Amino acid sequence: MSRRVCPGYAGLLDGRRAATHWEFEQDFQRRFPQVQLDINALYVDDQRIITSAGTAAALDCCLYIIRQRFGSLAANQIARRMIVSPHRGGAQFIAQPVPKNTRDARINCLLDYLQQHIAEPHSLDSLAGWWR
């Protein structure tokens, strides 16, 4: 673990949640016991300090930042250019295939919204109103 890239050495993660690659879990917890490690997360945003779990997860993290600042449409367009999924939720290990995008950017945005709000109840009327 490089001191140049780990904010844990500067104490920036003390008392916060953070992500790291599953290979570094034990070493990370030994070095930074005051950090709440979320080993299943691809990335963690804890009060504007964002950590990611690895190289591919860093892409997910970057798309998350773009989505937060510029919206889902911008993040989806950039993801398509990079030929990566616009949003991977869940753990570091993928147990099921990531849903494919459609050719309609509006539908992709809606699917992205539904993935982010999966626990909320949705009706056809509420989804139709989402476009407005």
With 0-12 CB in 10 A as exposed, 13-18 as middle and 19+ as buried, what is 75? buried
Question: Do 94 and 111 touch, CB atoms closer than 8 A?
Answer: no
Can you give the pLDDT of all 132 residues of the chain as single tens digits? 544 457 788 889 999 999 998 888 899 999 999 999 998 899 999 988 999 988 888 899 999 999 999 999 999 999 999 988 877 766 655 555 556 677 888 888 888 888 888 888 888 888 887 766
Count of domains observed in the chain: 2
92 and 47 housed in the same domain? no
β pairing state of 36-37 and 17-18: parallel
Residue 96 confidence (pLDDT): 53
Q: What is the pLDDT of residue 122?
A: 86
* 62 and 107 together in one domain: yes
Which among 53, 68, 91 is the end of a domain?
Answer: 53
Q: pLDDT value at position 63? A: 93
Counting Cα atoms < 13 Å in the Cβ hemisphere of 97 gives 3
Domain that includes residue 130, residue range: 56-132
pLDDT of residue 65: 94
Question: Is-contact 12 3, C-beta < 8 A?
Answer: no
Q: What are the contacts of 93-100 at 24+ separation with CB within 8 A?
A: 93/22
Q: Same domain for 62 and 119?
A: yes
